[in-house]
Amino acid sequence: MTSRFADGLAVGADLEEIAERAVGQALSRLGEQADLVCFFICGDDPDDVARAGQRAMALAPDAHVIGCSATGVIGGGQGVELTPSVSAWAATLGEARLTTFALETLNAEDRFVVVGLPDRNPDDHVAILLADPYSFPTDAFVERSADVLGDLPLIGGLANGVGGRGSVRLFADGEVYTEGAIGVVLSGPVRIRTVVSQGCRPIGPSMVVTRAEDNLLLELAGQPALARLEDIVSELDEDDRELVAAGLQIGIAIDEYAERHERGDFLIRGVIGIDPEHEAVAIGDIVEVGRTVRFQVRDAATADEDLYDLLDAHKAEFGQADGALLFSCNGRGSAMFGSADHDPVALRETLGPIGMAGFFAAGEVGPVGGHNHVHGFTASVLVFSSGAAGGA
C-alpha cells in the first residue's frame, strides 16, 4: 500500500546498514518520488553517525533531506531509546516549495548574529528547526524569531548525541554539520498544523505578578511569592505535594484578557529555586509585572490526557491526518510513562496509521499562543492533512 507520507525504523549495530534500511522502508512505501525526507540517528560514535547520515542522504538524491543525531528515535509506531537505531520519514508534497537552510552564529560586539536564514515569502507556512543545543543559542533565537521571521511558526527539537557535547551531528541536503542549526521552510500548497502538548495541570489560583526582578518573582497578588506558594502547597493532598517536590512548574498566561485561565492556557516554565531571604521564587523565564501566572504540576496521567485531548481536538477541527513529525522530550518516553512508545502510540490511536516519525529531543520547539518557544517535557507535533493549503 502506498501513501503520500511514510516512515521506517531499523535497529542494529551497523548504523550505515540500518540507515539504508530505515530510509529504504520509508521511500518504498510512498506512492510517488519523495520531496522531503527526514531521518534521525541514535548511535554511540559520532563518526559512525555521520557516515550513516551521509548514506541516508545519498538514498534520496532528488529530495530535500534533513536529519540529526539523537538519544532516541521514533518510527514504525514506536520509540527506541539509547539503542543504535535510525528512523526515517518521507513525504510527497506535490507543488509545495521546500527551502532548506543551515544557520550559524557570529559574534558582533556584545551580541550574536544568526546568519543563514532564507528570505521570507508570503505563502511560507512553517519552518522545521533542528539545532545543536551546545553551539547554537536556540532559546534566544526562537524567542526572538518574530523579529526576523514574523509570524512564521517554528517546530522541531534540539538534537543530541549519546556522548553529549561534541557528539551532535546535523544533516541537510548532502552536508554534515557539527554545530549550528539546520531546517527546512515549507511553503505553497500544503496543509499543515502544529500541536504542542505541554502536559501540565494547574494548582492553586491564578495570580497577578505585582513585583519581580529578572527571573525572581517577589510578589504575587500583593503578597510575598514564597508565602503564596507555601499556602498553595499546604492545601494540596499528599500525591500533589509529591509532584511539587519532584518538579514544580509555573504557567504564564497566554491571554491576559481571558475570564479564566485553565489547563492549556499557559506557557509552562520550570520553578528552579527559592530565595527564602527575599521570600522569592526563581523561575526559568523573565515575567513582567502585571502578567498572570499559575503554579503547575506534571505527571504521566496529566501528560497523557493533555496529548490525547489536543490530538482529538485537532482531528475534530481539521479532519483526517495523513502524516506527522513528532518531537518528543527525552524526559517523556520511558522516564515519564514507563514506555518509549507512549507518544507515537497516542498519535496512531488518535490520528490513525499515518506515516509518522521523529526523535526524543533535548528541548522541543513549537508555537504556543501564536509565539514560538523552546519547551521541556513537551510533545511538539507537525501534522500534515489533505485539503486546502494552510498552516498554523
Residues 357-380 have a mean pLDDT of: 95
pLDDT for residue 207: 95
Annotated domain spans of the chain: 4-197+302-385, 200-298
> What is the structure's pLDDT at 263?
76
Q: How confident is the model at residue 363 (pLDDT cuts 50, 70, 90)?
A: very high
pLDDT tens track for 279-294: 999 999 999 999 999 9
Strands 379-385 and 371-375: unpaired
Cell 548532502 found at:
174
Residue range 205-219, pLDDT digits in tens: 999 999 999 999 999
Which of 157, 3, 22, 42 has the alpha carbon at shortest distance from 88? 22
Q: CB under 8 Å to 74, separation ≥6 — which residues? A: 40, 80, 87, 326, 328, 343, 344, 356, 357, 358, 359, 360
- Say whether pLDDT at 389 is over 70: no
Q: How confident is the model at residue 60 (pLDDT cuts 50, 70, 90)?
A: very high
Q: How much is the average pLDDT of 27-44?
A: 95
CB atoms within 10 A of CB 387: 10
Per-residue pLDDT band for 113 (boundaries 50, 70, 90) equals confident
C-alpha cell at 374: 523552546
- Give residues with Cβ within 8 angstroms of 192, minimum separation 6: 125, 126, 186, 382, 383, 384, 385, 390, 391
Which of 105, 172, 101, 110 is CA-nearest to residue 134?
105
Query: What's the mean pLDDT in 38-58?
Result: 98
Closest of 259, 264, 278 to residue 219, by C-alpha:
278
Residue owning grid cell 522541543: 364
Report DSSP letters for 107-164, one per residue.
Answer: EETTEEEEE-PPPP-TTEEEEEEEE-TTTS-HHHHHHTTHHHHTT--EEEEE---TT-
Neighbours of 95 (CB within 10 A): 9
C-alpha cell at 385: 492533512
Report whether pLDDT(256) > 90: no
How far apart are alpha carbons 154 and 183 in whole angstroms? 10
- Which three-class secondary structure state does DSSP give residue 238? helix
Write down the pLDDT at residue 255.
Answer: 80
Q: Can you give the pLDDT at residue 2?
A: 56
- pLDDT for 314 beyond 60: yes
Most confident option among 177-181, 198-202, 257-261:
177-181
For residue 351, give the amino acid letter.
L
Confidence of residue 87 (pLDDT cuts 50, 70, 90): very high
Check if the beta carbon of residue 365 is closer than 8 Å to that of residue 372.
yes
Enumerate the H helices of 281-377 as residue ranges. Answer: 300-318, 333-337, 342-351
Q: How many helices (H) and strands (E) does the chain have?
A: 9, 27
For 17, other C-beta atoms within 10 Å of its C-beta total 14
Write the CA distances from 326 to 136, 140, 254, 350, integer angstroms. 21, 23, 23, 14
Residue with C-alpha cell 475534530? 316
| pLDDT 10s digits, 137-180 | 999 999 999 988 999 999 999 999 999 999 999 999 999 999 99
